[in-house]
Amino acid sequence: MNTNLTSLPRNTYTLPAVSTNRVIRNTYALLSMTLLFAAATAGASVVMGLPHPGMIITLIGYFGLLFLTSKLRNSGWGIVSVFALTGFMGYTLGPIISHYLHMANGGMIVTQAFAATAAIFLGLSAYALTTRKDFSFMGGFLMAGMIVAFLASLGAIFFQIPALSLAVSAAVVLLMAGMILFETSNIIHGGETNYVMATVSLFVSLFNLFTSLLHLLGVLNSDE
């Protein structure tokens, strides 16, 4: 009698935990591979001196591949689509990195941005995983913030306002830090059970965090 009573809660809580841990493992494994693949495509883009495809093609390629990945997320083709998406983003990152490498102290700027991105991601992910706090309350604020930041970035591009562009980059750094906490918490607490989509969410956060840090560090290290 006592054995049955004690075993019931143990089974109830163990199975969800096993499922969650599997999603976390698969997410970080796939994220590691896609980061390496994106780094390879970015490096190839830098070496070959490929031009940036432009904002329109970038947006079409990104949202098109994101939609395809979402549709295929429950099949093996979803993984192929993830690599296509992250590889495309790596390609678009190559010309951006080339721009900063041609600046004075360009190598240092890129290295600092990479190191800061890695430190922020590892620190926040470790915090969310160890404390297991629920950051779902941040979802609405982060979504609204990203919409505002996206519209402001378009305004900065079209109206050529450097100060606005700098402010957007600073805001995006904070928003992406929040997104890392939110997305990691979402996996831990079962809000996201598909590791393909979890990988995409974290990858996009890292991509935006890195490019925003590049912009901020580029301005800070500029002699102009």
Tens-place pLDDT, residues 99-117: 999 988 889 999 999 999 9
High-pLDDT (> 70) share of the chain, %: 91
Helices marked H in 49-138:
55-71, 76-101, 106-131
Please provide the average confidence, as pLDDT, over all residues in the chain.
Answer: 88
Residue with the larger pLDDT of the pair 97 and 22: 97
Residue with the larger pLDDT of the pair 221 and 48: 48
User: Taking the CB of residue 22, how many other CB atoms lie within 10 A of it?
Assistant: 12
For the chain, what are the domain ranges?
Answer: 2-32+100-220
Q: What is the pLDDT of residue 17?
A: 66
Which two three-digit tokens encode residue 22? Answer: 């599997």
What's the whole-number mean pLDDT along residues 12-21?
A: 59
pLDDT at 52 over 70: yes
Which two three-digit tokens encode residue 224? Answer: 């102009």
pLDDT at 13 over 70: no
pLDDT at 18 over 80: no
Q: What is the pLDDT of residue 53?
A: 92
For residue 75, give the 3-state DSSP assignment.
coil
Question: What pLDDT band is residue 16 in, cutting at 50, 70 and 90?
Answer: low
pLDDT at 6 over 80: no
What's the whole-number mean pLDDT along residues 120-125?
A: 96
Specify the pTM: 0.88
What's the whole-number mean pLDDT along residues 16-36?
A: 88
Q: What is the pLDDT of residue 8?
A: 34
For residue 82, give the 3-state DSSP assignment.
helix
Given a contact cutoff of 8 angstroms between Cβ atoms, the answer to whether 204 and 87 are in contact is no
Question: What pLDDT band is residue 191 in, cutting at 50, 70 and 90?
Answer: confident
Q: What is the pLDDT of residue 190?
A: 83
What's the whole-number mean pLDDT along residues 81-85?
A: 97
Q: What is the pLDDT of residue 62?
A: 95
- Alpha carbons 120 and 93: distance in angstroms, whole number: 20
Mean pLDDT is lowest, of 85-89, 150-154, 171-175, for 150-154
- Alpha carbons 184 and 182: distance in angstroms, whole number: 6
Q: What is the pLDDT of residue 224?
A: 52
